[in-house]
């Protein structure tokens, strides 16, 4: 049987998803050719803002590499756009002159950034934000220039602006309207969003109309209709998109704002179809990804002869990919034509909810701050449920038995046709079937098989719930006890320590019924830590319960030698220290002297017997590079030397290290202070990260490097160094008090809940209590003989003599 020729014009998300759906239904039906304008294979366009915000690389957002096209025998005409379409002869010609014939054709030409038709719009430095090349141009420009203006305060503009702030630029968003994202948010939510973004370093000019762009060959600024001027080295246009319809118009197809299609996605020419941002259905053009994928499924059914319901339009929703700004908007959000509303604002939590009601049905949703109930509300909207039986008070909060109550938020109770991943249009039923049919065991495997969770990632928790739902008792569970000596968990042990007033490890082992009354190498350090936190003054730190690295103040290496790493606060040193290190290294024939990743100088390959004399001769304290404690504070040189620096990062780093050095923590605790969002101190993967911005300091928590890298989450922005130091102390103490021994801050933050930890740290009252308890712990440690040994090299020598004896 001769296979039909299927031509896809446009290598973007909507078109390629349609091809994927066709291949899933009937992989042998068509010989497929795809014409692409860009010099890349198919990629996830909605993740470009993540690239700009340093969350993803270009490689990570490529969804279909070249091998995928080869595997499915798809001919890809690369970087060669179609320039003419003959609907009658069924032929297309590309820019390079290639002529391609087809039996059926899909137009998925997408849209382009709308560039304001003002004077200067063609100057160098005026860019759209739509493609990989746009993004790379923005990143390149950010390395050489300082000031950026983003015209347009919508979804795309705000994501672009935040990305440029993260690149270290001074960014001003220019918006024509009274509040941000006015088509998706009402005034209240828009103003809350603006306030939060200002805390992240963005600046705003509201109700400003750009009259011209200034400059000769390159942009130098903007002039507004009121005569005022804004300096700018780069201008990003995000005032909207326009469907790309030039090819369809040339071919004589029906075109309004977009390419007109019917309920089967067919254009005015038989055998030619359109999907995505270029298509207009019932007078509506969609710019969000979920509707485009819904169109693709219908078209895939049509082109493979499968029975399907006609496309009837889509209910859209919006969320913002900027950390610290959670919002959700869907449906009709204006009070008109019989639409009334219910709203609630929590000033303490900075959260806002507003539901728009018409004929006892939810027709619109605006959530800001707390968006945990977005699925419940969106279900009410999509299913047009009658809410007349509920009061205003019962509709707004999630409660058992209300509008579905807990079950509405429990993905396992959803219908199979409900969407779990809105970005990629993946239903609960699709996820469940993939888990069962393909024996999937992890969220990553589900994402690879279904694409669910592969875009913004918000649905990964629900995917995890569905995995547990299917696998049941096949899911491996960890033992509850901290080791084989006991069945008690860390939390249970800590509770008993406080309730019984236990102050020594012997008391813990005896009174809590440990099977091994001497403990083991796994539980002894944990119990010692829990006692240090619970009773910092009463409990004497037990050196015998610490790991050998901590006892010797040196890390044991793979050949049995040790590393000696003196403390250099904030990475700062002196000529005298450098000469001292050099003399000691030369005297003891140290095989390797290396600058460490934490901005210190390490001496490696040291013999055990040389350790006490070396520490005494160095006359420097240990950097605790081996300890489950506050370790280093990595800093950049800061505003004193760097042209991009906005704050004294080195000075603040030293203050943090001096204030909290030697404090024991459940696991190693690293800090970083960068003077600007370029983050040369790798602040984003530190347990406590600080980024200097024009108006103060951004604080990130829970970042971890290592085998499982976790990006820190934005906690808040503060104005003064003292606020940074106080929040750091409160964070340390709360982590100490609630963390499980050997648990890093990233899993701890996930277990505790970011919103909960944030509410604790930003409460002035709770922060003061935590700092008070931390000060008591610090005072207890300063009077502890073990801590005196850590801080005094001469006492260290005496300790080594005891150890050797």
Per-residue model confidence as pLDDT tens digits over 764-793: 999 999 999 888 877 765 555 444 444 454
Query: Which stretch of DSSP H or E encloses residue 294?
Result: helix 289-303
Q: Within this chain, do residues 14 and 102 fall inside the same structural domain, yes or no?
A: yes
Residue 428 lies in a domain: no
Q: Are 264 and 311 in contact (CB under 8 A)?
A: yes
Number of domains in the chain: 4
Q: Within this chain, do residues 98 and 179 fall inside the same structural domain, yes or no?
A: no
Q: Within this chain, do residues 219 and 250 fall inside the same structural domain, yes or no?
A: no
Structure confidence at residue 140 (pLDDT):
92
Query: What's the whole-number mean pLDDT along residues 376-390?
Result: 81
Residue 360 lies in a domain: no
Helix (H, G, I), strand (E, B) or coil at 673: strand
- Relative to beta strand 601-606, strand 592-595 is antiparallel
Structure confidence at residue 551 (pLDDT):
66
Residue 301 structure tokens: 């059914």
Identify the residue with better confidence: 157 or 404. 157
489, 504, 553, 736, 771 from 512: Cα distances, Å: 12, 12, 31, 22, 30
* 342 pLDDT above the threshold of 90: no
Give the integer Cα–Cα distance in Å for 594 and 555: 14
pLDDT band of residue 170 (cuts 50, 70, 90) is very high
Query: Which stretch of DSSP H or E encloses residue 137?
Result: helix 132-144
Known binding site for siroheme: residues? 680
* 709 pLDDT above the threshold of 90: no
Q: Give the list of residues 6+ apart from residue 479 with CB closer than 8 angstroms, or none.
A: none
* 375 pLDDT above the threshold of 60: yes
Residue 611 lies in a domain: no
Residue 475 structure tokens: 């899911």
Q: Within this chain, do residues 175 and 261 fall inside the same structural domain, yes or no?
A: no
Question: What's the pTM?
Answer: 0.59
Q: Within this chain, do residues 225 and 146 fall inside the same structural domain, yes or no?
A: yes
Q: Within this chain, do residues 144 and 99 fall inside the same structural domain, yes or no?
A: no
CATH of the domain at 89: 3.50.50.60
Known binding site: residues? 636, 642, 676, 680
Which of 221, 239, 257 lies at the terminal end of a domain, its last residue? 239
Q: Within this chain, do residues 45 and 152 fall inside the same structural domain, yes or no?
A: no
* 799 pLDDT above the threshold of 60: no
Q: Within this chain, do residues 135 and 43 fall inside the same structural domain, yes or no?
A: no
Residues 555-579 have pLDDT tens digits of 766 666 777 778 777 678 888 888 8
Which of 278, 303, 328 lies at the terminal end of a domain, its last residue? 303
Residue 505 lies in a domain: yes
Give the 3-state DSSP-derived string for 462-527, with helices as H, strands as E and coil as C. HHHHHHHHHHHHHCCCCCCCCECCECCCHHHHHHHHHHHCCCCHHHHHHHCCCCCCCCCCCHHHHH
Structural domain span for residue 742:
628-805
* 40 pLDDT above the threshold of 50: yes
Residue 343 lies in a domain: no
Q: What is the mean pLDDT of the chain?
A: 84
Q: Are 696 and 741 in contact (CB under 8 A)?
A: no
Structure confidence at residue 404 (pLDDT):
36
Give the integer Cα–Cα distance in Å for 405 and 409: 7
pLDDT band of residue 479 (cuts 50, 70, 90) is very low
Q: Within this chain, do residues 201 and 284 fall inside the same structural domain, yes or no?
A: no
Residue 144 lies in a domain: yes
Q: Are 173 and 205 in contact (CB under 8 A)?
A: yes
- Taking residue 657's Cβ as centre, other Cβ atoms within 10 Å add up to 25
Q: Within this chain, do residues 705 and 753 fall inside the same structural domain, yes or no?
A: yes
Identify the residue with better confidence: 479 or 591. 591
Residues 427-460 have pLDDT tens digits of 888 999 998 888 887 777 888 788 887 766 667 7
Q: Within this chain, do residues 87 and 103 fall inside the same structural domain, yes or no?
A: yes
Known binding site for [4Fe-4S] cluster: residues? 636, 642, 676, 680
Q: Within this chain, do residues 191 and 217 fall inside the same structural domain, yes or no?
A: yes
């Amino acid at each position: 049987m001769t296979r039909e020729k299927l031509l896809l014009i446009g290598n973007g998300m909507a078109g390629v998803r349609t091809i994927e759906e066709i291949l899933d239904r009937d992989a042998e039906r068509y010989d497929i050719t795809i014409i692409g304008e860009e010099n890349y294979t198919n990629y996830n366009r909605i993740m470009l803002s993540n690239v700009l915000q340093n969350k993803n690389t270009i490689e990570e957002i490529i969804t279909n590499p070249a091998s995928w096209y080869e595997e499915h025998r798809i001919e890809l005409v690369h970087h060669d756009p179609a320039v003419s379409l003959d609907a009658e002869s069924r032929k297309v010609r590309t820019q390079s002159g290639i002529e391609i014939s087809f039996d059926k054709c899909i137009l998925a030409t997408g849209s382009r950034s709308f560039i304001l038709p003002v004077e200067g719009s063609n100057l160098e430095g005026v860019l759209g934000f739509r493609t990989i090349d746009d993004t790379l141009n923005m990143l390149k420009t950010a390395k050489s220039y300082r000031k950026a203006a983003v015209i347009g305060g919508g979804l795309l503009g705000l994501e672009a602006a935040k990305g440029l702030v993260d690149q270290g630029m001074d960014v001003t968003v220019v918006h024509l309207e009274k509040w941000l994202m006015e088509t998706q948010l009402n005034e209240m939510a828009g103003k809350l969003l603006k306030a939060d973004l200002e805390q992240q370093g963005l600046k705003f000019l509201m109700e400003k109309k750009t009259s011209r762009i200034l400059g000769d060959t390159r942009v130098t600024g903007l002039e507004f209709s009121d005569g005022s001027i804004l300096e700018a080295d780069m201008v990003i246009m995000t005032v909207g998109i326009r469907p790309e319809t030039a090819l369809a118009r040339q071919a004589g197809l029906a075109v309004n704002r977009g390419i007109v299609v019917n309920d089967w996605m067919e254009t005015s020419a038989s055998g030619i179809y359109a999907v995505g941002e270029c298509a207009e259905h019932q007078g509506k053009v969609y710019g969000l990804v979920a509707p485009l994928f819904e169109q693709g499924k219908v078209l895939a059914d049509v082109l493979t002869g499968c029975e399907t319901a006609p496309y009837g339009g889509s209910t859209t929703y919006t969320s913002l990919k900027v950390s610290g700004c959670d919002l959700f908007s869907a449906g009709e959000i204006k009070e008109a034509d019989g639409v009334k509303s219910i709203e609630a604002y929590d000033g303490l939590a900075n959260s806002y909810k507003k539901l728009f009601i018409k004929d006892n049905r939810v027709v619109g949703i605006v959530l800001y701050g707390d968006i945990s109930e977005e699925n419940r509300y969106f279900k009410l909207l999509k299913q047009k449920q009658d809410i007349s039986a509920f009061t205003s008070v019962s509709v707004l909060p999630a409660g058992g038995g209300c509008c579905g109550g807990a079950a509405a938020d429990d993905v396992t109770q959803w219908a199979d046709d409900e969407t779990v991943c809105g970005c990629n249009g993946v239903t609960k039923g699709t996820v469940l079937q993939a888990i069962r049919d393909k024996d999937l065991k992890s969220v990553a495997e589900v994402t690879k098989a279904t694409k669910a969770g592969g875009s913004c990632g918000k649905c990964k928790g629900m995917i995890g719930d569905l995995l547990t739902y299917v696998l049941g008792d096949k899911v491996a569970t960890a033992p509850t006890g901290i080791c084989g000596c006991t069945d008690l968990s860390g939390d249970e042990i800590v509770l008993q320590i406080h309730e019984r007033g236990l102050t020594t490890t012997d008391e813990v082992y005896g009174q809590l019924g440990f099977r091994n009354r001497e403990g083991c190498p796994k539980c002894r350090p944990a119990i010692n830590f829990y006692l240090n936190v619970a009773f910092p003054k009463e409990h004497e730190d037990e050196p015998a319960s610490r790991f050998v690295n901590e006892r010797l103040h040196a890390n044991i290496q793979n050949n049995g030698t040790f590393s000696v790493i003196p403390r250099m606060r904030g990475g700062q040193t002196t000529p005298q220290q450098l000469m001292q290190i050099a003399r000691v290294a030369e005297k003891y024939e140290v095989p390797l002297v290396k600058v460490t990743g934490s901005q210190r100088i390490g001496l490696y390959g040291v013999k055990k017997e040389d350790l006490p004399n070396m520490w005494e001769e160095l006359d420097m304290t240990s950097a605790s590079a081996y300890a489950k404690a506050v370790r280093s504070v990595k800093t950049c040189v800061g505003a004193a030397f760097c042209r991009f620096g906005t704050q004294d990062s080195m000075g603040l780093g030293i203050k943090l290290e001096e204030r909290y050095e030697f404090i024991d923590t459940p696991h190693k605790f690293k800090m970083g202070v960068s003077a600007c969002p370029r983050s040369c101190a790798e602040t984003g993967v530190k347990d406590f990260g600080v980024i200097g911005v024009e108006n103060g300091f951004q604080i990130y928590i829970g970042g971890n490097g290592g085998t499982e890298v976790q990006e820190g989450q934005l906690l808040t922005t503060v104005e003064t160094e003292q606020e940074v130091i106080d929040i750091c102390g409160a964070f340390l103490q709360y982590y100490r008090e609630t963390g499980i021994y050997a648990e890093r801050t990233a899993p701890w933050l996930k277990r505790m809940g970011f919103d909960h930890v944030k509410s604790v740290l930003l409460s002035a009252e709770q922060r003061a209590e935590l700092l008070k308890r931390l000060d008591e712990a610090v005072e207890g440690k300063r009077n502890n003989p073990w801590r005196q040994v850590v801080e005094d090299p001469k006492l260290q020598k005496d300790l080594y003599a005891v150890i050797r004896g």
